[in-house]
Each structure stands twice: as structure tokens, then as C-alpha cells.
Structure 1
Amino acid sequence: MSFYYIGREASKLWKRICAEITTEIKLLGENWKYILGGLICQYIHGLAARGVHYFHRPGPVLQDVGFYLLPELGQDRAYISEFVFTFVFLSFVLWTFHPFITKSKKIYTVLIWCRVLACLVACQILRIITFYSTQLPGPNYHCREGSKKATLPRPDNILEVFLIVPRGMLFGCGDLIFSSHMIFSLVFVRTYHKYGTRRFLKQCAWLTIVIQSLLIIAARKHYTVDIVVAWYTVNLVVFFIDKSLPELPDRSGAAALLLPLSKDNKTKEGINHKLLNGNTGDTADWRPRTQINGKILEEGTIVHVEAIINGL
């Protein structure tokens, strides 16, 4: 009996994944230019960060209040901040693909990444302008005086300039104000705060970002000013971009469920839920799963809905 149940649920999951792939491919066909443009800008940002490393000149570490208040992690434990950032990054990426496997569908993966990339590109343009305006002596261990990695040697050919290697991304110098790690983390957390549904996870996400900020300073990867500027710049940029972009479409059709449905409408609604969610279209599955009146429903929160219909 258990094998029959597992097989039935696996079949539903496979249908749900196939239906979601079909939907997302269609959206990708309509929005591929935005996705491609955002990815190209990530590459340009990487080139700019590598380019400023050629101009970096090591010098005495600047006075910093964060360095006095926070104990230094040291080179052996500097990886802790990278571990926290990797956890935040991977968690967000996995969350954006949750519509492929869950019945509760709040977002479209392609559309959410279009929004995220728009915020990242705007912040990274400001970052490039800032760290090319003034190069500060890097506080990281490999950027200090006496380190061979503090300044890149002149490239042997033009291809070397356009080549980005992971090791170079980890051991860059000069691209300080403001922190790229904080750009990604803050954009991801703000996006989940708006479109996520679990209040506890939202609180944990913000706490994680605060801890990451302190760890970056303690690891001497950035000055305190790099973190402070990232906090208010990224939040302001995301706020204004969010206001200028159209809101994401409501996937649940929850507003329609508040209205009396005819027999034909119920049939159509059931077919739509079956295609999107992979279920049988039972009325038990017809429950609000996302936005009502422009707000995301959070688990553990009771939302009172007033349906006002013109003429009724």
C-alpha cells in the first residue's frame, strides 16, 4: 500500500515539474533578453573588479572602528564569512526553484530572477563607479604590504585581461567600497522578505545578514565603511527599483476564489490548478496560496480579506 502511495505522489510530482518547466520556458522565451543582459553585467562587474586590482597599491591598514571593536578572526578562520555567504546564496537559489516541486506556488522563477538581476546590476554599477573613484589599501591579508598578491603583474596579452578565474575573485584587492558580498545577500534577503511566506525564516535571514556583516569585518576583508555603505545603498536601490517595476503576477487565483463560480468556471479553474500544481483539481486543493490585495500570505498569520466588487 505504501508503494502505491509513493508511486502516486511521484507521478503527481513529475506532472507538476513538467507543467512548471513548460510555463517557465515560455516565460524565458519572453524575457531571455533581460536574463542574458543581467548575466553579461555580472561578467562586466567581474572584469571591473579584476581591473582595479592592477591599480591597487598596498599600504598601511586604515584606522577602522570595526577593527577595534571586533576580534580578528585571523587567516585560519577567515573562511567562516565565506561559508555564511555561500549558505545564503545557495539557499536563495534553491528557494527560487521551489515552484517546480511544491504545490504552493508564489512566484515564477524566471520573473523573480529578472527582478533580482535588475537590482544587482544597478547596485554593481554604483559599486564600480565608487571603487574606481578611490582605491583604498586593502585590509585583507593578501592585500597588505609584503604580499605578492597585493598587486597584479602587467598582463602578457589582451586575453588575460578578459579572463576571470575563481581564484582571482577570492583574492581580489582594491574593490572595497562597497561590499559585493553584501550586495548579493541584501538583494536576496529583501526579495525573500517580500515574496517569501515563512515569517520565522525571514527573521532568521535578516539575523544571518547582520552576522555576516560582522564576520566580514572581523575577517578583515572589508572596512566598516564598506559594509555601512552597502546597507543603505542596496536597500535604497532595491526600494526604488521595486517601485518602478511592475508587480509580479498572482499565481494562486485567490481573488477569483472569493467570487461565486459557475459550473463551467469551476471546471476551468480545476484544469488550471491541475496543470500548474499537478493535483487532481479537488476543492480541497483550491485554497489561497499567495497574494491577496497585493500582499503575500505568511504562515501563522491570519489575514482578513474584504472583497469589494463594483456594482454589488
Structure 2
Amino acid sequence: MMSPKKSLSSLRPDLIRFALSILFILIVVYHMFLIQLLSDQRWAASLIKEPLSDLGFSTVPSLTREWVPDFFVMSLLVVTLSSLTLLARSWLEAIVVLRRFVWLTGTLYLLRSITIIVTTLPCPRDCHPIQINGFRDFLWVGLTMMVGLYKTCSDNIFSGHTMIIVSCMMLWSIYGRNKWAILCAYSHGIIGILTIIATRMHYTIDIFLAVLLTFGLYSFYFSLVNEASQRISPSLIGLDATKGNGDADRKSLIMMENRLNSVLLDIVVWVDGLDLRLNTYSSIDLPTSSYSV
């Protein structure tokens, strides 16, 4: 339940930056759709039209209802964003959660644009590229794609559907407070990913790269947020997002990077032998300064 502690007028700077994040993602998405159209034209002119061999296609039964992945993605996205917004402890937390999602999603879409244009793979399903008649038509079709009127064929390498699913799973991992809700979100997401393979919407490698890049960017971003928070306010060093003293809003917004990276940190500790060299090791936090061990 949101606290009325801070009025919307006092949050004007945060709202302005949130509006800028919306503008950013709209520009990036439009750019990405134009890139997809260019990729389709290149694929249409190529000699390779048959789908590539894919282990996922050989394992997961085919599904002809192409709307199913869209349903899983959109339902998870709507439930995730609405739930985290309504359950936020304050307006500030709600704005920051949404703004972070928008910035990260826009950045991932920008990376996706690069992967689409540098390498064009044949479409994994029966598909016919959109016919473009001139530059104006090119710009117009890209605009109409933003409202779902057209779909392209060769937007492979990096699955956008999987990216949204994994992003929602990450948000539940970071902000979720109920383990059953988190479990439901993960189950919903995994089934959604399987439907992407079943409908032959993407190759399995597209999904693998989307999972890897999305998890990597979220982990990297939240680690930087934690580092920046400690540099701006050294009193935050070692402060858990759910414990300590001070302003409740500020505490709730300190990133819990350990919840994202705890398993990876344990692996690094073992591989690097930190537990052998540091006798005081009990649990490793992300470093806040440079040092040699």
C-alpha cells in the first residue's frame, strides 16, 4: 500500500526523468522496428529461406496458435508492473521501479537492434516480408508496427518476447515479497518461453542470448546503483534494503544486488579461491572499493 508521505508535486524531478525514460524507449522501439524492416528486406533478397536446424524445434512439439506467446508475455508484463506499482511502499518507490524497468528495457531493445542488423537469420516459421514502397512507406510501416499492425520475419538472434519475460522474472526476484507470487511468475515465464519455441517464433539460440543478456544487464545495473549509492552517501555501505536506520523510502530503494548475484558470487568465491585466502569469509558482498587479494 502506497504511503502518502510524499506528494506528487515533490516528486516532480522523478516524474520528469520518468517521462524522459518513456521518450527514450519510444525512440528506441521505433528505431528497432525500422531495423527489423531492413533485416527483412535483406532476408528477402538472400538465397537462404529454409529454417535452420534447431534442437528446441526437435524437442518441443509444434504449436500453430501464434497468439499464445503474446498472451503469456503481455499477461506477465501487466500483472508484474501493476502488482509492483500497487504494492509499492510509496509513490517514489513506484516511480523508481517503473523508471528502472523502462530504461533497462529500452537499453535491451537497443542491443537487440544491433543483433538484428548485423546478422540476418532465415525465419524459423512460414512468413512473408512486408512489401515496402519507398522511404515514406518505410517510415510509416515502422510507425504502425508500434501498435501491432505488422510483424516482421527475420528479427532473430535476440528474442524480444523472452527479454520481457526474463525482465519480469528479475523484477519479482528483486521486489517480490511473497515466495508463492515469485514462484507463479517464474512458472508463468518458463511456460511462456516454451510457447515461443513451440510456435517457432524464435530459435533456441535467440532465447538463450535473451536470457543471458537480460540477466547480465540487470545484474550489472543494480551493482552500479549500489556502488553509486555508497559513493554518494557512504553511510549506506553495508545497509540492507530491508534493514537499518534512516529514511524508509531511501532504504527501500537501495538495490539488493545480493539477491541477484548471490549464487554467482559463491561460484566466484570458490573458483577464485577467495574462501581459502580470506579466513574471515562468511558471505561476500560486492566490493565498494578497489583492492587486491
Task: Give the TM-score normalised by structure 1.
Answer: 0.65
Once the two structures are superposed, what CA deviation does each residue of 1:199-218 show, in whole Å capped at 9, x if it has no partner? Answer: 11112112222111111000
Do 2:196 and 2:202's aligned partners in 1 also have CA atoms closer than 8 Å? yes
**Residue 169 of structure 2: which of 180, 189, 200 is its match?**
189
How many Å separate the matches in 1 of 2:179 and 2:7?
26
User: 18-27 or 129-138: which moved more?
Assistant: 18-27
Structure 1 letter corresponding to 2:153: C
Find the partner of 1:37 among 4, 14, 24.
Answer: 24
Corresponding residue for residue 136 of structure 1:
121
**Cα deviations by residue, 1:44-79 (Å, 9 ceiling, x for unpaired):** 2233223322222271121111111111112xx222
Quote the Cα distance in structure 2 between the aligned partners of 1:120 and 1:294. Answer: 18
Superposition pairs of residues 76-95 of structure 1, within 5 angstroms: 77-95=65-83
Shift of 1:94: 1.0
- Is the aligned partner of 1:209 residue 2:189? yes
Could you tell me which of 56, 73, 91 is aligned with 1:66?
56
**2-side partners of 1:164 and 1:294: how far apart?**
36
What CA deviation, in whole Å up to 9, does each residue of 1:238-260 have, x standing for no partner? 1112212346999x997448xxx
| Structure 1: runs of 5+ lacking an equivalent | 1-12, 144-149, 258-268, 277-289, 297-312
Residues 222, 255 of structure 2: 8 Å contact kept:
no
Question: Which amino acid is 1:154 matched to?
Answer: I
Report the AA paired with residue 153 of structure 1.
Q
The equivalences for 1:263-302 within 5 A come to 291=252
Structure 1 residues 136, 295: closer, same or farther in 2, change over 3 A? closer
Task: Say if 1:55 and 1:151, in contact at 8 Å, map to a contact too.
Answer: no
Q: Quick one: which amino acid aligns to residue 115 of structure 1?
A: R
How far apart are the structure 2 equivalents of 1:154 and 1:30? 36
RMSD value, Cα: 3.6
How many matched pairs? 243
Cα distance between partner residues in 2 of 1:22 and 1:16: 15
Q: CA deviation at 1:84?
A: 0.8
Say which is worse superposed, 16-25 or 234-243, in terms of deviation. 16-25
Match of 2:261 in 1: none
Distance between the aligned counterparts of 2:179 and 2:149, measured in 1?
Answer: 34
Amino acid at match of 1:161: L
With the length of structure 2 as denominator, give the TM-score of the two structures.
Answer: 0.69
Asked which structure has the greater CA Rg, the reply is 1
Amino acid at match of 2:215: N
Measured after TM superposition, the shift of residue 197 of structure 1 is 1.2
Q: Tell me how far apart the structure 2 counterparts of residues 52 and 220 of structure 1 sit (CA, whole Å).
A: 18
1:145-170 Cα deviation digits (max 9, x unpaired): xxxxx222232342542542247665
Q: 1 or 2 for the larger relative contact order (CA 8 Å, sep ≥6)?
A: 1
* Equivalent residue number for residue 177 of structure 1: 157
Aligned residue in 2 for 1:5: none
Question: Counterpart amino acid of 2:76?
Answer: V
Provide the C-alpha distance between the structure 2 equivalents of 1:17 and 1:48, rounded to a whole number of angstroms.
44
- Corresponding residue of 1:165: 144
Q: Secondary structure at the match of 1:165?
A: helix
Contact 2:166 2:215 (8 Å CA) reproduced? yes
